[in-house]
Amino acid sequence: MLSVSDLSIARAGLPVLQGLSFSVKDAEALILRGPNGIGKTTLLRTIAGLQPPLEGRIEGAEERVAYAAHADGIKPTLSVTENLTFWARIFGAGGIDGALAAYDLRPLAGRAAGSLSAGQKRRLGLARMLVTGRPIWAMDEPTVSLDKTAVAMFAEAVRAHLGRGGSALIATHIDLGIDAQVLDLSPFKAAPGSMDAFEGAFA
Amino acid sequence: MLSVSDLSIARAGLPVLQGLSFSVKDAEALILRGPNGIGKTTLLRTIAGLQPPLEGRIEGAEERVAYAAHADGIKPTLSVTENLTFWARIFGAGGIDGALAAYDLRPLAGRAAGSLSAGQKRRLGLARMLVTGRPIWAMDEPTVSLDKTAVAMFAEAVRAHLGRGGSALIATHIDLGIDAQVLDLSPFKAAPGSMDAFEGAFA
Amino acid sequence: MTALLMRDLALAIRAGGGFGLGLAFFLIVTVLVPFGVGPDPALLSRIAPGILWVGALLACLLSLDRLLALDWEDGSLDLLATAPLPLEGMLSVKALSHWIVTGLPLVLAAPVLGVLLNLPGPGYLWLTVSLALGTPALSVIGTFGAALTVGLKRGGLLLSLLVLPLYVPTLIFGAEVARRGAEGLDVATPLLMLAGISAGVIALLPFASAAVLRVNLR
Amino acid sequence: MTALLMRDLALAIRAGGGFGLGLAFFLIVTVLVPFGVGPDPALLSRIAPGILWVGALLACLLSLDRLLALDWEDGSLDLLATAPLPLEGMLSVKALSHWIVTGLPLVLAAPVLGVLLNLPGPGYLWLTVSLALGTPALSVIGTFGAALTVGLKRGGLLLSLLVLPLYVPTLIFGAEVARRGAEGLDVATPLLMLAGISAGVIALLPFASAAVLRVNLR
Amino acid sequence: MMPDLGKYAETVLSAYAASIVLLVAIVVLTLLRGRRVRAEMERIEEKAGRDG
Amino acid sequence: MSLWEYANPKKFLATSERVLPFFWVSAGLCLVVGLVWGFFFTPDDFRQGSTVKIIYLHVPSAMMAINAWVMMLLASLIWLIRRHHVSALAARAAAPVGVVMTLIALVTGAIWGQPMWGTWWAWDPRLTSFLILFLFYLGYVALWEAIENPDTAADLTSVLCLVGSVFAVLSRYAVNFWNQGLHQGATLSLDKEENISDVFYFPLLVCIAGFVLLFIALVLYRTGTEIRARRIKALRLRERAAA
Ligand code: HEM
Ligand SMILES: Nc1ncnc2c1ncn2[C@@H]1O[C@H](COP(=O)(O)OP(=O)(O)OP(=O)(O)O)[C@@H](O)[C@H]1O
Ligand SMILES: Nc1ncnc2c1ncn2[C@@H]1O[C@H](COP(=O)(O)OP(=O)(O)OP(=O)(O)O)[C@@H](O)[C@H]1O
Ligand SMILES: [Mg+2]
Ligand SMILES: [Mg+2]
Domains, chain B, ordered by start: 25-52+61-183 (3.40.50.300)
pLDDT at E22: 93
Ligand 2: list residues with CB < 6 Å: A 11-12, 16, 34, 36-42; B 114-120, 145
Dump pLDDT digits (tens) for F33-46: 888 888 887 777 66
pTM of the model: 0.86
Which residue among F53, F107, F235 sits closest to E45, beta carbon to beta carbon? F235
The pLDDT tens digits of the residues spanning C69-98 come to 888 888 888 888 888 888 899 999 999 999
Contacts of E52 in chain B (CB under 8 A): 192, 195
Mean per-residue pLDDT, A64-71: 86
Q: Residue D45: its pLDDT value, please?
A: 85
For ligand 2, atom 8: residue with the closest CA? B115
For CA atoms D133, D136, D140, D141, the dihedral sign is: positive
* Residue B7, phi then psi, degrees to nearest 5: -80, 135
Does B51 lie at the interface with C, CB-CB under 8 angstroms?
Answer: yes
Chain F residues whose beta carbon lies within 8 Å of the beta carbon of residue A111: 240
Q: How far is the CA of B35 from the centre of ligand 5 (A)?
A: 10
Confidence band of F193 (pLDDT split at 50, 70, 90): very low
Q: Measured between CB atoms, does D154 come within 8 Å of chain C? A: yes
- Asked if residue B91 has pLDDT above 90, the reply is no
Please answer yes or no on whether A117 and B146 come within 8 Å at the CB atom: no
The mean per-residue pLDDT over the stretch A106-122 comes to 87
F111 neighbors F54 (Cβ within 8 angstroms): yes
Which residue has a Cα nearest atom 2 of ligand 3?
A115
pLDDT band at A118, cuts 50/70/90? confident
Q: How far apart are CA C48 and CA F176, in angstroms?
A: 22
Q: Do D53 and D130 form a contact (C-beta atoms < 8 A)?
A: yes
- Residues in chain E within 8 Å Cβ distance of F107: 15, 18-19, 22
pLDDT in tens, B64-87: 888 988 888 888 888 899 888 888
Mean pLDDT of chain A: 85
- The pLDDT of residue B148 is 86
Is residue C46 a contact partner of residue D43, using CB atoms and an 8 Å limit? yes
Coil/strand/helix, residue C92: helix
Quickly state the pLDDT bin for F121 (edges 50, 70, 90). Answer: confident
What distance in angstroms lies between residue B139's CA and the mean position of ligand 2's atoms? 24
Distance (Å) from the C-alpha of residue F243 to the closest C-alpha of chain A? Answer: 6
Q: Hey, what amino acid is at C121?
A: G
Any B CB within 8 A of E52 CB: yes
Asked if residue A195 has pLDDT above 50, the reply is: no
- Judge residue A195's burial from the number of C-beta atoms within 10 Å of its C-beta, 0-12 exposed, 13-18 middle, 19 or more buried: exposed
Q: Are F229 and F43 in contact (CB under 8 A)?
A: no
pLDDT for position F46: 66
Instruction: Check if the beta carbon of residue B27 is closer than 8 Å to that of residue B166.
Output: yes
- Does residue E4 surpass a pLDDT of 70? no
pLDDT tens for each residue of D13-62:
776 445 666 787 788 788 888 888 888 888 888 888 888 888 888 888 87
Percent of chain B whose predicted confidence (pLDDT) is above 70: 94
**D8 touching C, CB under 8 A?**
no
Distance between CA C180 and CA C190 in Å, rounded? Answer: 9
**CA-based nearest distance B11→chain A, Å:** 9
CB atoms within 10 A of CB D11: 23
Secondary structure (3-state) at B38: coil
Give the number of the atom of ligand 2 that is nearest the alpha carbon of residue A42: 18
Percent of residues, chain A, with pLDDT higher than 90: 18
Separation in Å, CA C186 to CA C112, C126, C196, D217, F175: 23, 11, 18, 57, 18
Q: How does pLDDT run across C142-193, given as a tens digit for each residue?
A: 999 999 988 776 667 788 888 989 999 999 899 888 888 888 888 888 899 8
Measured in angstroms, the CA of D213 and the nearest CA of chain C are apart by 19
Residue D73 has a CB neighbour count (10 Å cut-off) of 15
Q: Which residues of C touch F162 (CB under 8 A)?
A: 208
Cα(B188) to centroid(ligand 3), Å: 15
Q: How many CB atoms lie within 10 A of CB B110?
A: 10
Say how many CA atoms lie within 13 Å of E9 toward its Cβ: 6
What average pLDDT does range C110-133 have in this prediction? 85
Lowest average pLDDT, out of C7-16, D105-114, F78-87, F185-194, goes to: F185-194
Helix (H) or strand (E) holding B58: strand B55-59
Q: Find out whether B35 and A149 touch, Cβ atoms under 8 Å.
A: yes
**Nearest Cα residue to atom 18 of ligand 2:** A39
Q: Is the pLDDT of residue F116 over 50?
A: yes
Residue E52 clears pLDDT 60, i.e. is over it: no
Positive or negative, the CA dihedral A14, A17, A20, A23 is negative
Residue F98: which of F140, F57, F157, F59 has the closest Cα?
F140
Q: What is the dihedral of CA D118, D120, D125, D126, to 10 degrees?
A: -100
Please tell me the predicted confidence (pLDDT) of residue D216.
84
Report which ligand 3 atom has the smallest distance to the Cα of A122: 26
CA separation, residue F228 to residues A139, E39, F93, F183, F234 (Å) = 45, 10, 12, 43, 10
* Residue in D78, D73, D89, D104 with CA at minimum distance from that of residue D3: D89
Nearest CA to B157 out of B184, B139, B181 is that of B139
3-class SS string, chain F: CCHHHHHCHHHHHHHHHHHHHHHHHHHHHHHHHHHHHHHHHCCCECCCEHHHHHHHHHHHHHHHHHHHHHHHHHHHHHHHHHCCHHHHHHHHHHHHHHHHHHHHHHHHHHHHHHHHHCCCCCCCHHHHHHHHHHHHHHHHHHHHHHCCCHHHHHHHHHHHHHHHHHHHHHHHHHHHHHCCCCCCCCCCCCCCCCCCCHHHHHHHHHHHHHHHHHHHHHHHHHHHHHHHHHHHHHHHHHHHHHC
Q: How far is CA C43 from CA C56, C118, D36, D172, F5, in A?
A: 20, 9, 14, 17, 63
C36 touches D130 (CB < 8 A)? no
CA-CA-CA-CA dihedral for C33, C38, C41, C47, to nearest 10:
-40
What share of chain A has pLDDT > 70, as a percent? Answer: 95
> Among D125, D133, D135, D110, which Cα is nearest to D191's?
D133
Question: Cα(F5)–Cα(F117) distance, rounded to whole angstroms?
Answer: 51
What ipTM is given for this predicted complex?
0.84
Q: Which of B117, B153, B154 to mutate to test the pocket of ligand 2 (most atoms within 8 A of CB)?
A: B117
Taking CA atoms, C106 is separated from B34, C54, C95, D55, F82, in Å, by: 54, 12, 15, 20, 44
Beta bridge mates, A63: none
- The span from the CA of F172 to the CA of F203, in Å, is 30
Residue B157 CA to residue B139 CA, distance in Å, equals: 13
pLDDT at F203 (0 to 100): 85
- pLDDT the model gives residue E51: 61
Question: Where residue F187 falls among pLDDT bands split at 50, 70, 90?
Answer: low
Mean pLDDT of B157-169: 91
A 10 A CB-CB count for A56 gives 17
Q: Reply yes or no on whether the pLDDT at A194 is more than 70.
A: no
Question: Above 60 in pLDDT, residue C206?
Answer: yes
- Which residues 176-195 on chain B approach chain F with CB closer than 8 angstroms? 190, 192-193, 195
Q: How far apart are alpha carbons B6 and B24 in whole angstroms?
A: 15
> Does the beta carbon of A111 lie under 8 angstroms from any beta carbon of chain F?
yes
Maximum average pLDDT range among A28-37, D9-18, D115-124: A28-37
Say what the pLDDT of residue C5 is. Answer: 80
Query: Which chain residues have CB less than 5 Å from ligand 4, an ion?
Result: A 41; B 118
| Closest residue to B12, CB basis, from F149, F235, F238 | F149
Contact of E37 with F225, CB cutoff 8 Å: yes
The span from the CA of D81 to the CA of D12, in Å, is 21
Interface membership of D213 toward C (CB under 8 Å): no
Ligand 3 neighbour B35 (Cβ under 6 A): no
CB contact under 8 A, A51 and D218: yes
Classify residue C26 as exposed, middle or buried by CB count within 10 Å of its CB (0-12, 13-18, 19+): buried
The answer to whether F220 and E33 have CB atoms below 8 angstroms apart is no
Q: Are F97 and F68 in contact (CB under 8 A)?
A: yes
Question: What is the pLDDT confidence band of residue F22, given thresholds at 50, 70 and 90?
Answer: very high
List, for residues F62-72, the tens digit of each pLDDT value: 999 999 999 99
CB contact under 8 A, A41 and B12: no
Beta bridge partners, B8, equal: B55
Distance from CA of A35 to the nearest CA of D (A): 23
Q: Which long-range contacts (CB under 8 A, 24 or more apart) does F158-161 make?
A: F158/F76, F158/F77, F158/F79, F158/F80, F158/F88, F158/F91, F159/C148, F159/C208, F159/C211, F159/C212, F159/C215, F159/F76, F159/F80, F160/C148, F160/C162, F161/F72, F161/F73, F161/F76, F161/F91
Averaged pLDDT score across all residues of chain D: 84
Per-residue burial over D106-122, b if 16 or more Cβ lie within 10 Å, else e, is bbebbbebbbbbbbeee
User: How many Cβ contacts (< 8 angstroms) between chains C and F?
Assistant: 72
HSE at residue C122, side-chain half, CA atoms within 13 A, is 10
Task: Inform me whether the pLDDT recorded for D77 exceeds 80.
Answer: yes
How many angstroms away from the CA of C48 is the closest CA of chain F?
17
Whether B and E touch (3+ CB pairs < 8 Å), yes or no: yes
For position F215, what pLDDT does the model report?
95
- Residue F191 pLDDT exceeds 80: no
- What counts of helices (H) and strands (E) characterise chain B? 6, 8
Contacts of C208 (CB under 8 A, 6+ apart): C144, F159, F162, F163
Average pLDDT over chain F, rounded to whole? 84
Amino acid F84: pLDDT = 86
Work out the average pLDDT over B87-94. 83
For D119-170, the pLDDT digits (tens) are 887 888 888 999 999 999 999 999 999 998 887 766 666 787 788 889 889 9
Q: Tell which atom from ligand 3 comes closest to the C-alpha of B40.
A: 21
Centroid of chain to Cα B128: 12
Please choose from A104, A117, A149 the residue to mutate so as to test ligand 3's pocket, defined by most ligand atoms within 8 A of CB: A117
Residue F195 pLDDT class (50, 70, 90 cuts): low
What is the amino acid identity at position B124? L
In ligand 1, the atom with minimum distance to the C-alpha of F187 is 40
Average pLDDT over residues D69-77: 81
Q: Using alpha carbons, select from D119, D111, D130, D69 the residue that is nearest to residue D94.
A: D69
Q: What is the pLDDT of residues A177-188, one digit of tens each?
A: 888 888 888 888
Query: Do the bridges between strand B55-59 and strand B167-171 make them parallel or antiparallel, or are there none, so unpaired?
Result: unpaired
Q: Is the pLDDT of residue B203 over 50?
A: no
Alpha carbon distance D79, D126 (integer Å)? 43
Residue A181, beta-bridge partner list:
A30
Q: Which listed ligand is nearest to B37 at the C-alpha?
A: 3
Q: Evaluate: CB of A119 within 6 angstroms of ligand 3.
A: yes
pLDDT of residue E8 exceeding 80:
no
Looking at the partner chain, which of C3, C79, C217 has a beta carbon nearest the beta carbon of B89? C3
Closest-CA distance, D46 to chain A, in angstroms, reads 44
Radius of gyration of chain A (CA): 18
Residue A32: phi and psi, rounded to 5, are -95, 130
